[in-house]
Amino acid sequence: MEITFAVLLWAVRIAFLLLLYLFLLRAFGVLHRALVAERAADAPTRAIGVLVVERSPGHAPRVGERFSLRASTSIGRDAGNDVPLSDEAASARHAVLELREDEWWVEDLGSTNGTLVNGTRIERAERVRFGDELAIGRIAMRLEKGAG
């Protein structure tokens, strides 16, 4: 009986030390996961995008030209736009591409000939995903992940 009690006591003591280390291990695990999640949320490439010109009969902009995007990027025929397009079918201030809570949305600013996302003319603000094609007049551009 005496021996059993002593053995039990030692088991509890060893369990205490083990628990101390297990807690430490779990705490490190929680910290590690929090840091990984934070890094994923921070990844600057997640929302940053570029418009890559895919089709441009007038050669301004050139095919393959890349426009890095701002949180609110204006597109149109005026030279003052962030993405200037020299195409007669484009309106002076044609459309705006906006970052809303980490998603890109395009909105037509009442242009004459409209804005197309993947070939469909948009009515109101439309979500644009990476890889989608944006067409204005005869010019087509693709939204891609990454900077400049």
Return residues touching other proteins (CB under 8 A).
5, 8-10, 12-13, 15-17, 19-24, 26-28, 30-31, 33-35, 37-38, 41, 101
CA 54, 59, 64, 69 dihedral sign is negative
**24 vs 63, beta carbon nearer other proteins:** 24
105 Cβ contact list (under 8 Å, min separation 6)? 97, 98, 99, 125, 126, 127, 128
**41 vs 79, beta carbon nearer other proteins:** 41
Residue in the structure block whose two tokens are 């005496």: 2
- Least spacing, CB of residue 100 vs other proteins, in Å: 12
- Least spacing, CB of residue 26 vs other proteins, in Å: 6
**31 vs 63, beta carbon nearer other proteins:** 31
- Least spacing, CB of residue 37 vs other proteins, in Å: 8
CA distance 96 to 74: 4
